[in-house]
Amino acid sequence: MEALASWLVGVPVWESAAVLSALAYLILAARESKLCWYFAFASTAIYSVLFREVSLLMESALNVYYMLMAVYGWYQWRRGGGDHKGIKIHTLDMRSHGLIIGAILVLTLVSGFLLSRYSAAAWPFVDSFTTWASVIATVMVAHKILENWLYWIVIDVVSIPLYLNRGLEMTALLFVAYVIIAIVGFARWQQQYRMQSARMATPCGEESCA
C-alpha cells in the first residue's frame, strides 16, 4: 500500500484526475444530477491516498468517509423513482444551524488538540475544522439541505491556504473554483427551492389545476 501511495503522489496525473473528478462532482451536484456521486467516489478514492502522503491525516480520513457518503448520497438522490430529483430541496432553521456550528467547533478543538499532541499532522486545528465541517456538510448535500452550499463556501476558503502549505497547488486551485461553483450552486438551489415552494403553496400542490 505504501509503494502504491508513493507512486500515486509521484505522478501528477493522479492529482489532475482527482481535481477533474471533483469539479465534475460539484458541477453535477449544483445541477441536482445523481451522476455527481460517481465522480465524488472516484475523486475521493485518489485523495484519500494523496492527503495521507502529505501528512493531512484528518483530510485523508475524511476522503474515506466521502467514499462511503458517495454511495449513500447516490442512494438518497435515487429515492422517489427514476427522476434524479426524487427528494426535494429543504432548509434548516437557525437553531439547527446553531447546534451544527457549535458541534463543529467542539469537535475541531478536541481533535485539533489530540492531533497536535499525539501526531505529526500538519495544521491540526485547521485540518480538523475543514474535516468536521465537511463531514456535516456532506450529509446536508445527501439530504438536499439548501444551506450546505454556504458551509462549503467557508470550508473551501479555509482549505486553500492549507493545501498551498502542503504543496498541493493544483488542489488549492480546485478549491478556488469550488468557491465560485458553490456560490452558483447556492443560487441555483435557492431558485429551485423557491419554485418548489411556490408550487406547493398552490391549492393543487405540485399538480397543475384543471
> Distance (Å, rounded) from C-alpha 108 to C-alpha 127?
9
State pLDDT tens for residues 31-82: 888 899 999 999 999 988 888 877 777 778 888 988 999 999 888 888 644 4
> Distance (Å, rounded) from C-alpha 47 to C-alpha 32?
23
State pLDDT tens for residues 79-101: 644 444 567 899 999 999 999 99
57, 169 contact by CB (below 8 A) = no
The answer to whether the pTM exceeds 0.75 is yes
| Of the ranges 66-75, 104-113, 169-178, 187-196, the best mean pLDDT one | 104-113
CA torsion through residues 35, 38, 42, 47, sign: positive
55, 121 contact by CB (below 8 A) = yes
